[in-house]
Amino acid sequence: MTHLEDSKIISLFYERSEQAIAELDRKYGAAVKKTAANILSSRQDVEECANDTYLGVWNTIPPQDPNPLISYVCKIARNIATLKFHSNTAIKRNGQYDLVLDELEECIPSAVNVESDYEAKELSDAISHFLNTLKYEDRFFFIRRYWYADSVSDIAAMTQRDSHLISVHLFRT
């Protein structure tokens, strides 16, 4: 089965064609689900995360024009899975009160401000600079482990390397 090029999938999103989601799922669905499954333990939560990821992509393309598309999609999946994980593991609070807060969520001002945006950008730049100083192999191990949350054994299988070697590289990095 052949997959559409990323640029054609993005064009479908710009055209607001529902086929865009089907093509995105066909090409990157396994990566989205793997990213979510590395964070979430429930198959149902992984499926929900995948659907929410596709909705997130739908809502952000346009105006976004991501390149590479897979990184963009997996970033959204990772963020959604992380939020779901925190939601699943949070101490249960007053359910009725939570419902009221959820209903008011759109009225409450965002916690995001210029200062936190600036700090996030600075941190992002520092991490990017750090990653650019690493050899390709160390950068690959680091990103697979700490961004995609792959297990050391999964990284070892991907690279056909020994798990202990991967662990040592990660520890030294």
Specify burial of residue 86 (Cβ count, 10 A radius: 0-12, 13-18, 19+). exposed
pLDDT tens per residue across all 173 residues of the chain: 678 899 999 999 999 999 999 999 999 999 999 999 988 888 999 999 999 999 999 999 988 889 889 999 999 999 999 888 888 776 555 555 555 556 556 655 555 566 767 777 888 888 889 989 999 999 999 888 888 888 889 999 999 999 999 999 988 98
Structurally, at CATH architecture level, domain 109-173 sits in Orthogonal Bundle (1.10)
- Count of CB atoms situated within 10 Å of the CB of 37: 18
Domain with CATH 1.10.10.10 in the chain: 109-173
How much is the CA Rg of the chain, to the nearest whole Å? 19
Question: If you classify domain 1-102 with CATH, what class do you get?
Answer: mainly alpha
